[in-house]
Amino acid sequence: MLVIKSFGERKKVIEKLRGEFDVIRSRERVRKEECEGLSVKCEAAMTEFEKNFAVVALWEKISALSTKVKEHKLNLDRMMLKS
């Protein structure tokens, strides 16, 4: 257990803790700014990706195929019930 006897020792400990706090706060601020920058870049990349004609065409194809799969499954279910 740490026992601080004099005012000078207390002051040194407080200054040290404040310094450590300032360093931690500064690092957090830098990380937050980095995160915000990466978020902006990510949003821009996703917007560009969503506008890509190849991606749009693939999504349309996937949607059409998904509809066909559902239709075929319904037909198969009907056939299985009849037999």
Instruction: Encode pLDDT of 33-57 as tens digits.
Output: 999 999 999 999 999 998 999 999 9
**pTM for this structure?**
0.51
Cβ neighbours for 13, distance < 8 A, ≥ 6 positions apart: 4
pLDDT at 10: 85
∠ CA(32), CA(35), CA(36), 5° rounding?
Answer: 85
